[in-house]
Amino acid sequence: PKENIVVDANGGFKKLMEAFDLERCGNATMSLGQASGALEEVLQYVQEREQFGKPIVEFQAVQIKLAEMAMRTEAARLLIYRAAHNAAEGLPSIFESSVGKCFSNEMAREVTGTAVQLMGGYGFNKEYQMERRLRDAWGWGIAGGTIDIQKINIASAMVGRRFNQRK
């Protein structure tokens, strides 16, 4: 019946799909939040935790991991800003929102995993909450369209057409 129509047949589905561009930005932001929080917490931890008579932040391997975590976190932030800005300007882009979500989801998994590694056994201790951040980071990579689905969206946008996965 007509009263049960959710979207207009003339372009309604396209508008509905454009709403997912904003949803992907929101999801990416949640991943960014997990990674940023993990980086902030582990940064404090490595300055306090001592090994061989000095804070572990003094070790080059730890410094390199911190730098890599910061670089990836900031790159995700910029990708999200670009996608959100263009969506706000009325230029939503499945390419930009999918790149932002995909990169942010992968980055959050990597950053939280590295934070757990830097914290050693404490990384799995509920006292520090890092294990929760790691679990949440994995969850955001599933919610709102998996990482692999985002990669298919990206490829589709690159070639200018959708792929029919059902044939």
The per-residue pLDDT for 1 is 79
What pLDDT score does 88 carry? 83
Number of domains in the chain: 1
Question: Which of the 8 DSSP states describes residue 49?
Answer: -
Q: pLDDT tens for residues 96-131? A: 999 999 999 999 999 999 999 999 999 999 888 999
pLDDT per residue as tens digits for the range 35-57: 999 999 999 999 999 999 999 99
DSSP percent split of the chain into helix, strand, coil, nearest 5: 75, 0, 20
Residue 87: band (very low, low, confident or very high) from pLDDT cuts 50, 70, 90: confident
> Is residue 167 included in any domain, yes or no?
no
Q: Which domain holds residue 68?
A: 28-159
In a domain, 164, yes or no: no
| 11, part of any domain | no
CA gap 142, 150 in Å, rounded: 10
Domain annotation covers residue 4: no
Secondary structure of residue 1 in the 3-state scheme = coil
Residue 39 domain-assigned (yes or no): yes
The pTM (predicted TM-score) of the whole model is 0.87
Is the residue at 23 inside a domain? no
The domain that contains 119 carries what CATH number?
1.20.140.10
- Note whether residue 121 is domain-resident: yes
Q: At 115, list the tokens.
A: 């934070």
| Residues in Cβ contact with 85 at an 8 Å cutoff, skipping those fewer than 6 apart | none
Q: Is residue 148 part of a domain?
A: yes
